[in-house]
């Protein structure tokens, strides 16, 4: 029986606080969300931050404070987004690593993102992958379309394994412009995974449940959260991230794939422990 690593992606960069009041946008809201989600089964948090006006931000000081607060107040693996918002320049996305997270996302290619374009040039991908290895930060390779798995193979062949040696992939499915959130697309993606890699999957919007069920039955891990899903059931807005994590944990238990402990998630991903030991 393999336990399920559950990542919560609580905020994202696409929804506004005005439209979605339950979205965690302040540091206090984010830390409280992290605590609540850990309590119901999350072991990793995928973090996008907001500025004082709740707009997406990659402010270096705020990022550092966020990493420290989450590390101090939760045991979660702190994974910063280097994807940011579609408007963020490459230099700011690379500078996210200065906040010294445990892990960070690393997207494997350019994709249409609704009416926008999420740009990830090959040279930028190489720079990000290499910088993460130098800084002992574990990447999560974000895959929006099948061809991006070919890019991942090319990256690993030409530029070597990530820090820790283990390859972990997140299939982000159902983005308008990327692969669909279907069991068939998930199975197709699995045939292209590098040998030994583990994977999580997340289905955007109404593809959340089909992708979750397909990922669990294929031995994969899960990412859930308000970055990707704002409707719990038809006509029922999500009340908070813990609601989505609790549902994922419940379904994982029914599938005999209970939530993974934070320590096991750290070991699986090869995370360097940056937590300070409390003084005795
Ligand atoms: N917000 C998207 C443009 C990531 O976090 O690395 C990119 C994204 C991927 O969410
Ligand atoms: Zn993200």
Identify the pLDDT of residue 276.
80
Please, what's the largest Cα pairwise distance for the chain?
55
Q: Is the CB of 142 under 6 A from ligand 1?
A: yes
Q: State yes or no: pLDDT of 71 exceeds 90.
A: yes
The alpha carbon of 224 and the centre of ligand 1 are apart by a number of angstroms equal to 14
Work out the pLDDT band at 159, boundaries 50, 70, 90. Answer: very high
Ligand 1 atom closest to Cα of residue 227: 10
Q: Which domain holds residue 195?
A: 6-269
Q: Is the CB of 27 under 6 A from ligand 1?
A: no
Identify the pLDDT of residue 1.
62
Is 233 contained in some domain? yes
The vertex-7 CA angle with 199 and 236, nearest 5°, equals 115
Is 278 contained in some domain? no
Q: State yes or no: pLDDT of 219 exceeds 90.
A: yes
Is 276 contained in some domain? no
Q: Would you put residue 212 in left (φ > 0), alpha (ψ -120 to 50) or beta?
A: alpha
Q: What count of other Cβ atoms lies within 10 Å of the Cβ of residue 148?
A: 25
Is 213 contained in some domain? yes
**Is residue 133 exposed (0-12), middle (13-18) or buried (19+ Cβ within 10 Å)?**
middle
Average pLDDT for residues 21-30, to the nearest whole number?
Answer: 98
Interval 141-158: pLDDT, tens:
999 999 999 999 999 999
Identify the pLDDT of residue 279.
67
Task: Count the domains in the chain.
Answer: 1
CATH number of 202's domain: 3.20.20.70
Average pLDDT for residues 96-110, to the nearest whole number?
Answer: 98
Is 207 contained in some domain? yes
Average pLDDT for residues 175-200, to the nearest whole number?
Answer: 98
Euclidean distance between CA atoms 218 and 189, whole angstroms: 11
Work out the pLDDT band at 122, boundaries 50, 70, 90. Answer: very high
Give me the chain's average pLDDT, please: 97
Q: Are 119 and 79 in contact (CB under 8 A)?
A: no
Q: Copy the structure tokens of residue 41.
A: 């089964």
- Which residue from 92, 93, 107 has its CB within 8 A of the most atoms of ligand 1, so it is best to mutate? 107
The alpha carbon of 47 and the centre of ligand 1 are apart by a number of angstroms equal to 10
Work out the pLDDT band at 278, boundaries 50, 70, 90. Answer: low
pTM: 0.98
Identify the pLDDT of residue 88.
98
Is 46 contained in some domain? yes
Task: Compute the Cα dihedral for 48, 118, 168, 59 and give only its sign.
Answer: negative
Identify the pLDDT of residue 102.
98
Q: Residues 6 or more apart from 191 whose CB is under 8 A from it?
A: none
Is 274 contained in some domain? no
Work out the pLDDT band at 33, boundaries 50, 70, 90. Answer: very high
Is 1 contained in some domain? no
Q: Are 15 and 224 in contact (CB under 8 A)?
A: no
Nearest Cα neighbor of 222 from 250, 202, 192 is 202
Euclidean distance between CA atoms 269 and 264, whole angstroms: 9
């Amino acid at each position: 029986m393999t336990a399920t690593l559950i990542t919560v992606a609580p905020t994202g960069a696409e929804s506004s606080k005005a439209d979605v009041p339950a979205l965690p946008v302040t540091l206090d809201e984010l830390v409280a969300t992290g605590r609540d989600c850990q309590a119901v089964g999350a072991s990793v948090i995928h973090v996008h931050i907001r500025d004082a006006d709740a707009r997406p931000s990659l402010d270096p000081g705020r990022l550092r404070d966020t990493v420290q607060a989450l590390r101090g107040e939760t045991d979660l693996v702190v994974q910063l987004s280097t994807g940011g918002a579609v408007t963020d320049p490459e230099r700011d996305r690379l500078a996210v690593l200065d906040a010294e997270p445990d892990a960070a996302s690393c997207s494997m290619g350019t994709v249409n993102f609704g009416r926008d374009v999420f740009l990830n040039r090959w040279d930028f991908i190489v720079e990000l992958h290499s910088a993460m290895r130098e800084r002992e930060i574990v990447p999560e390779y974000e895959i929006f379309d099948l061809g991006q798995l070919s890019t991942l193979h090319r990256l690993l062949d030409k530029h070597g394994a990530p820090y820790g040696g283990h390859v972990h992939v997140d299939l982000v499915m159902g983005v308008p412009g990327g692969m669909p959130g279907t069991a068939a697309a998930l199975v197709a993606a699995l045939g292209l995974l590098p040998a030994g890699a583990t994977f999580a999957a997340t289905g955007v919007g109404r593809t959340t449940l089909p992708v979750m069920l397909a990922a669990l039955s294929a031995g994969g891990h899960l990412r859930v959260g308000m970055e990707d899903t704002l409707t719990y059931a038809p006509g029922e807005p999500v009340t908070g991230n813990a609601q989505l994590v609790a549902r994922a944990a419940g379904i994982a238990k029914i599938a005999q794939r209970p939530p993974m402990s934070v320590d096991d998630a750290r070991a699986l991903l090869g995370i360097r422990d940056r937590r300070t030991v409390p003084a005795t």
